[in-house]
Amino acid sequence: MKPMPLFTYKAVREDGSSVIDQAMAADAAELRHELESRGMLVLTVAKKSSSFSTGRGNAKDFLLFNQEFLTLFKAGLPILQSLEILHKRTEKPAFRSTLESIIHDIKGGSSLSDAMEKHPAYFSPLYASTVRAGEKSGALADVLKRYIEYQKKMLAIRRKLTTALAYPIFLVLALSAVMLLFIFYIIPNFTQMFDDQAKLPFLTTLLIAITSKLTNYFPVLALGAGALAAGAYWWQKSPAGKRQLDGLKLRIPFVRTLMVQYILSQLTRTLATVLRGGIPLVQALETTAGVITNKVMADRLSEARSLVIEGVSLANAVERTGLASDMTVRMIEVGESSGDLPQMLEDVAEFYDQEVENRMTLLTTMIEPVLMVSMGLIIAVIVVALYLPIFEMGSRIK
């Protein structure tokens, strides 16, 4: 099912209090009608992208919120009082308004999970399902604690990936800056010295021709590159484009293995967390599929869920859909046989975490010297091409 878009709205309740919040709906008209049916005076409705709990915003802020909420709840404060304290301490207006709306709904008789589920911009379906399971089991504190641990581990993996890629990206940017300096400043200044020279070496002539073309057509090239980048950005934002891009990522040599391992780490850890919260396997698979960022892998997990509904074991379903390797299938099979599937899934996640870290280390170890050597060779060729005419002039004078 295609997810509904997210909207932000401003409205006034029947008691005169204002609210700024987010909600999902098929379109703006449907949301406006729903709000008005609840007795609200709708001021504005606008489409909005998702926020931190969906992985595209500040996940650290959401982690901090959960830690503070758990601390207050474990201290013996009721849910409503805990939320009211957090509402007063929250600095961000939009999130403060969201907490105000949740508090209002809870006072009106809604459960915490139902109130949070209305705000997917901040509380993802995974989080809402986890909280609901904790409410039903009477172990909300334990469920929140496990979710916080899950958040910390996912953030740690992302931090490692970011750190590993930081230096290669810096080298690429440095090389680009050096090339622009040569093309637009150093080479043109040098070529002025060769105006009186009748014949230049082939390498120098080629360098001057390339630089001249790049300089003359730079505005067109820059505009074309910008248009191409913008087109690629909007293409990968579309459902079809994202699915094609996700499929491409799974076909690139070396990158494919890294991507699959990272996704399986995310998948198994998320599934383990949801199952430990007391959510049934079929529902847990559906929730996990909504969390997986790669659409191709998410589709395979949804296929596996359909097979589980038909009575197939999870291990067999994973094997038949080609979702994971034989090793993972065997470990899931052992977890199902022993009755401790969540623990086995966590072990699989830890294994893939280590594999991702090792592969990232290998990748950066390979990329860094390649970039350094490439940078050195490019600069060396340019310097040699610039100084060849000077060397020839010197040999003629002798």
| Per-residue model confidence as pLDDT tens digits over 152-182 | 888 887 787 788 778 788 888 888 888 888 8
Query: How wide is the angle at C-alpha 291 spanned by C-alphas 246 and 124, nearest 5°?
Result: 140
State the DSSP H helix or E strand holding residue 158, giving kind and residue range, or none if neither: helix 140-181
Return the sign of the alpha-carbon dihedral for residues 265, 266, 267, 271.
positive
**Residue 10 confidence (pLDDT):** 80
Beta bridge mates, 6: 24, 48
**Residue 54 confidence (pLDDT):** 44
Lowest mean pLDDT of 47-51, 109-113, 120-124, 256-260, name the range: 47-51
Averaged over 210-220, what is the pLDDT? Answer: 85
Averaged over 272-286, what is the pLDDT? Answer: 86
Whether 57 shows a pLDDT value over 50: the answer reads no
Lowest mean pLDDT of 50-64, 263-277, 301-315, name the range: 50-64
Averaged over 261-281, what is the pLDDT? Answer: 86
Tens-place pLDDT, residues 286-329: 888 877 878 889 889 999 999 999 999 999 999 999 888 888 99
Whether 392 shows a pLDDT value over 90: the answer reads no
Whether the Cβ atoms of residue 168 and residue 362 lie closer than 8 Å to each other: no
Averaged over 259-288, what is the pLDDT? Answer: 86
Lowest mean pLDDT of 5-19, 28-42, 325-339, 353-367, name the range: 5-19
Tokens read off for 239: 């459902």
**Residue 48 confidence (pLDDT):** 62
pLDDT band for position 1 (50/70/90)?
very low
Q: What residue type is 75 in one-letter code?
A: A
Whether the Cβ atoms of residue 281 and residue 314 lie closer than 8 Å to each other: yes
* CB-count exposure of residue 318 (10 Å: 0-12, 13-18, 19+): buried
Whether the Cβ atoms of residue 182 and residue 380 lie closer than 8 Å to each other: no
pLDDT band for position 198 (50/70/90)?
low
Whether 397 shows a pLDDT value over 70: the answer reads no
Q: In angstroms, what is the C-alpha Rg of the chain?
A: 28
**Residue 208 confidence (pLDDT):** 84
Tokens read off for 219: 């505005």
Lowest mean pLDDT of 15-19, 116-120, 212-216, name the range: 15-19
**Residue 396 confidence (pLDDT):** 61
Query: How wide is the angle at C-alpha 202 spanned by C-alphas 200 and 208, nearest 5°?
Result: 75
C-alpha 277: how far from its chain's center? Answer: 24
Lowest mean pLDDT of 82-86, 218-222, 385-389, name the range: 385-389
pLDDT band for position 60 (50/70/90)?
confident
Averaged over 80-86, what is the pLDDT? Answer: 90
Whether 197 shows a pLDDT value over 70: the answer reads no
**Residue 315 confidence (pLDDT):** 93
**Residue 2 confidence (pLDDT):** 46
**Residue 344 confidence (pLDDT):** 92
pLDDT averaged over every residue in the chain: 82
Convert 85-94 to b/e letters by CB count within 10 Å (16 or more is b): ebbeebeeee
DSSP 232-282: HHHHHHSHHHHHHHHHHHTTSTTHHHHHHHHHHHHHHHHHHHHHHTT--HH
Lowest mean pLDDT of 3-7, 208-212, 323-327, 370-374, name the range: 3-7
